[in-house]
Amino acid sequence: MLDKPEEAIDSRLPKTGETEKARTHKDIPELHLWPIHYAVALAMLGGIALVTAFVWAGLWQIGFPTLKRDGSVSATTLIEFLKLAFAVVAGIGGIVALIVAYRRQRVVESSNKLAEINSALAHLADERAEASRLLAEAADRRASIENDRSGIRLLNERFTKSAEQLGSDHPAIRLAGAYSMASLADDWPEERQTCIDVLCGYLRMTPGNITDDNEVRRTIARIIVAHLRVGARISWQGHRFDLADSEINEWDFRNIAVGKSTVLNLEGASFGGAKTQPSFRNMKVAGGSVHLTRINFTKGVELSGLELEAGLVNLQGSQFFGWGAGFDSASINGGLLDLRSCTFNSGATFGSYPQQWVKIEGGSINLSFSKFLGDSGNFPSCSFNLEITGGNVSFEHTKFEGTGVHFRNSRLLGGSMNFDFASTANGHANFSKVLFEGCIVDYSKPYGWQRPPLLPDDAAVPPGEFKLPAPDWKFDDEPPF
């Protein structure tokens, strides 16, 4: 198929028989006509000869009578003579007219035939031009195929060389291999995922006894992040980055974008060697997914400025120490921020007091089965400064320790919040400064009622927007898990 591109146009080329027929056409008329004055003169002479022959034959038939000559001609004789003369002239004229009509007919037929032949020749010329164009295209395609084969062969050689460099015992060569593999991914979109898999696979491998490997790992990390950032020269969006259980040192994920079909999987990754907390500040997720599950963030994690328009940001089952978890100025317009079964050992902030809200216009935040431990003597286990106009925030089975949870200057303008079987054993759920204007807060099934939630004045809570437990609710029932 690709080896013989000219076969694709073979059926469209003019056939040999048709070409020869048009080239040596046997029906081209050849006019053998005398000049008109010769033809007319010959016709007149022929007419005169014919009349003469008829007269002579008539006279011969009657025996060549003698004519009586006298000095006068009767009117009848004159008229008969004139009739005879006119008849002779008319006959000669008729012969000339017939000759002219015959010549005209021959010329018309010849012109029509020539027009047909010219049309056939023009059609043949068009076919030849089309055939030349198709042959030129076939030649270009063959040349392109050869170039592609040469290019693919070269790319394969580059891939093999880069992989060999990444497996070297010398850190400088491994570093060169990382840059070489990244460059190959930029140049080879068809196999970009393969190159990405090699780089991610290197980070998933245990460093072992290879010396000076941290710099290679940091370099690969920076390469991947640079290709995910907004405005990257060559974007690697739309690919899968499998970094599950990898060892990561000093990664900076700020300003990355995770677009449609992009998967960034950091499940179980280790940030233990990081000097500061990993930062995902201003990360924008629009249709892709980020998996930060089962991670021990020993120095906390920063997710402030998160923009979640669609897709998933999943931190399920992770633990947060150090500076805790910060989601200041995050914006949830769609998708899911999944924080189920997380343990916040040193607090968490979802919007700084007083003006930096976490805005929820759609989608949801799920904090079910999570634990906020904190220091019960000094600060609330977490604080929320939310502006909810749509979507849902779930605190089902969530446990708040420390001095409870504070919702500060939250603006609950729509959507819903659910506190089924939530527990605030050592503090309050403080809603005292919250603005209620349309959000349904369901606090009707809490677990434990040692310290009921703190609400603003009754007049500030519209009827039905904050649902308290029914009189027969059993607060000490073990929550179903």
- Identity at 362, one-letter amino acid code: G
SS3 of 444-461: the string is: CCCCCCCCCCECCCHHHC
Non-local (6+) Cβ contacts of 303 within 8 A are 280, 281, 283, 313, 325, 326, 327, 330
Q: How far apart are CA 395 and CA 4, in angstroms?
A: 66
Q: Which residue has the tokens 């940091």?
A: 218
Q: Can you read off the two tokens belonging to residue 334?
A: 């769609």
- pLDDT recorded at residue 375: 55
Query: Could you write out the DSSP letters of every residue in 417-443?
Result: EE-TT-EETTSEEE-TTPEESS-EEE-
List the one residue out of 221, 318, 334, 338 whose CA is nearest residue 273: 221
- pLDDT recorded at residue 476: 59
- pLDDT recorded at residue 41: 72
Q: Is-contact 473 442, C-beta < 8 A?
A: no
Torsion of CA 463, 469, 470, 471, to 10 degrees: -120
List the one residue out of 98, 80, 82 whose CA is nearest residue 44: 98
- Lateral strand order in the sheet of 296-297: 296-297, 319-320, 343-344, 371-372, 399-400, 423-424
As a whole number of Å, the end-to-end CA separation of the chain is 62
- pLDDT recorded at residue 12: 52
Number of H helices, E strands in the chain: 7, 28
Buried b (16+ CB within 10 A) or exposed e, 242-259: bbeebbbbebbbbbbbbb
**pLDDT tens over the chain, length 481 residues:** 444 544 554 555 555 454 445 445 555 556 666 676 666 677 777 767 777 777 777 767 777 666 666 666 677 777 877 777 777 777 777 777 877 787 788 788 788 888 888 888 888 888 888 888 888 888 888 877 777 666 688 888 999 999 999 988 888 999 999 999 999 999 999 999 999 999 999 999 877 656 578 888 889 999 999 999 989 999 999 999 999 999 887 678 999 999 999 999 999 998 766 567 899 999 999 999 999 999 999 888 999 999 999 999 999 999 998 888 899 999 999 999 999 999 998 778 898 766 778 999 989 999 999 998 865 444 456 889 999 999 999 999 998 877 778 888 899 999 999 999 998 877 788 898 899 988 999 998 888 767 788 888 765 677 678 898 888 777 654 544 4
Helix residue ranges per DSSP H, 167-316 = 171-187, 192-204, 213-228
- pLDDT recorded at residue 70: 62
- pLDDT recorded at residue 110: 80
Q: Give ∠ CA 140-17-114 in degrees, rounded to 5.
A: 105
- pLDDT recorded at residue 481: 41
Q: How far apart are CA 79 and CA 24, in angstroms?
A: 62
- pLDDT recorded at residue 381: 60
Non-local (6+) Cβ contacts of 152 within 8 A are none
The DSSP bridge partners found for residue 423 are 399
169 burial type by CB count under 10 A (0-12 exposed, 13-18 middle, 19+ buried) = exposed
Q: How far apart are CA 13 and CA 131, in angstroms?
A: 6
Q: How far apart are CA 373 and CA 355, in angstroms?
A: 25
- Identity at 456, one-letter amino acid code: P
Q: Is-contact 310 335, C-beta < 8 A?
A: yes
List the one residue out of 331, 328, 348 whose CA is nearest residue 400: 348
* CA-to-CA separations, 172 to 182, 197, 226, in angstroms, rounded: 16, 21, 21
Q: How far apart are CA 103 and CA 99, in angstroms?
A: 6
Q: How far apart are CA 245 and CA 206, in angstroms?
A: 10
Helix (H) or strand (E) holding 92: helix 75-166
